[in-house]
Amino acid sequence: MSNRRLPLYFTLSAFAISANAVPPLLSTMSAELALPAWTLGAGITIQYISFSAIAWLGGMISARRGITHRTMIVSGLLVLSLALLLAPYVTASLVAVLIWMGVLGFSGGSVETFASISLTEDSPSASSKSLCISQAFFALGAFVAPQVASFFLERLGGWKSVFLVLGGLASAVTLFFLVFGRRRAQPPSSATAAGTELAKDVVSPSGGLTVSYFRILLFTYVLVETLLASWIPFMLENQRNFSVRNAASAASFFWFGMIFGRIAIVVLPNRLTLWPALTVSSLSAVAASIALPLFPDSSRLLLFAFGFMMGPIWPIVVRIAIATLRSDALATSVLAAGGLGAAAGPFLGSVLLAGGFAHVYFQVVIGIVVVVASLVIFALVKRRRVA
């Protein structure tokens, strides 16, 4: 692992902490603030709409104004940390909660988008390993958030203490990045050449995958990831009689599996870290999703397996898309589509809950995972036809 990339990796952990701070606290905050749980789910939707907006516009703004990626990351980290630390004091009403989550989304989108692009520039080889490692750090942050919630929810301070601890962790990452996050510029010629090499491996120049395909695939994948991450603690509480603390702990197993799934890519030869790994991951995720409702007594183990199978999909898709499109504006639009998927996931969970369809939650998850796998198979068939 390159020491120069380590500060960037940790920024993904800070973003994940912010993105996964609210889901384990949904029922507790709902009761204390006297708000229906589905309204907080709608707040998570606003958070990711804001994420998508900054991801979509950020690439164009930074290019036109000459704003460096580092500046965008630092700005996002500072606002993100402050928002978490202030959460116990500014979330007294529904309007305040929604505004606060919008700010959290803007700051997180700035961090996630520009850290991911910076990592691909810093690692031009035809491999998804660098992004997989970064997303393992994302999963680490996503694992830490519900674990902190599980520890503090039944102790003095409750959910407010959770935000203070998570804000402290995000602040520590911000300080670490400020001190150690300065990077030497990559020679453009090497990055361009490597990008061309990877693009040839990804798709035939005579026809094939477009920016729309990558947007749809990433949207669908992130939709199911956030549908699970945002609502699984609540569903375990209400459908499987988990306590609040046990539900938050069980939810972290999904992210624990993602850590291992993304790290597992690192040991593979470079030639196996793109389409072969993407195919195996997506098809295995279908099997794991089907097992979730069939074996309710094995929720923790199956959530770990599901996370392990799902883990490599996002970094591999992003790596392929960035190398194929070779444009910051197009790449950030793909990440923005993922942000819209992240907004749609919590919203879909809110719709299921508000409409009285929470009992089909796991079946909906299965259906969307099948769509992800179908999109991957479609791409494989298309590539063979144009090869």
Domains annotated for the chain, with CATH where assigned, are 6-386 (1.20.1250.20)
The mean pLDDT of 69-96, rounded to a whole number, is: 92
Round to whole Å and give the CA distance between 359 and 357.
Answer: 5
Least confident of 3-12, 70-79, 164-173, 199-208: 199-208
Q: Which residue has the higher pLDDT, 160 or 107?
A: 107
Which region holds residue 356: left if phi is over 0, alpha if psi is between -120 and 50, else beta? left
What pLDDT, on the 0 to 100 scale, is given for residue 151?
Answer: 83
Enter the pTM of the model.
0.78
Asked if the model's pLDDT at residue 329 lies above 80, the reply is no
Assign 142 a pLDDT band (cuts: 50, 70, 90): confident
Round to whole Å and give the CA distance between 251 and 270.
Answer: 31
Token pair, residue 30, equals 């709902």
Tell me which amino acid residue 304 is.
Answer: F
Summarize the chain as % helix, strand, coil (round to 5).
85, 0, 15
Asked if the model's pLDDT at residue 190 lies above 60, the reply is no
The model's pLDDT over 221-276, given as tens digits with 9 standing for 90+, comes to 999 998 988 888 888 888 888 887 788 788 888 888 988 998 988 888 877 778 89
Least confident of 115-124, 155-164, 335-344: 115-124
Asked if the model's pLDDT at residue 125 lies above 50, the reply is yes
Alpha-carbon distance values, 96 to 86, 90, 198, 214 (Å): 12, 6, 46, 35
Assign 331 a pLDDT band (cuts: 50, 70, 90): confident
Question: What does the buried/exposed string (b/e) look like for 152-186 if buried means 16 or more CB atoms within 10 Å of the residue's CB?
Answer: bbeeeebbbbbbbbbbebbbebbebbeeebeeeee
Alpha-carbon distance values, 279 to 25, 200, 284, 285 (Å): 34, 19, 9, 10
- Which helix (H) or strand (E) element contains residue 353? helix 328-354
Mean pLDDT of the chain: 84
The mean pLDDT of 310-315, rounded to a whole number, is: 92
Burial class (CB in 10 A: 0-12, 13-18, 19+), 229: buried
Compute CA 372 distance to the chain's CA centroid, rounded to the nearest angstrom. 16
Evaluate whether 61 touches 72 at the Cβ level (below 8 Å): no
Angle, vertex CA 274, rays to CA 273 and CA 278, nearest 5 = 100
Assign 206 a pLDDT band (cuts: 50, 70, 90): very low
Least confident of 210-214, 222-226, 319-323: 319-323
Contacts of 243 (CB under 8 A, 6+ apart): 237
The mean pLDDT of 332-345, rounded to a whole number, is: 87
Asked if the model's pLDDT at residue 19 lies above 50, the reply is yes
The mean pLDDT of 357-376, rounded to a whole number, is: 95
pLDDT cut 70: percent of the chain above it: 89
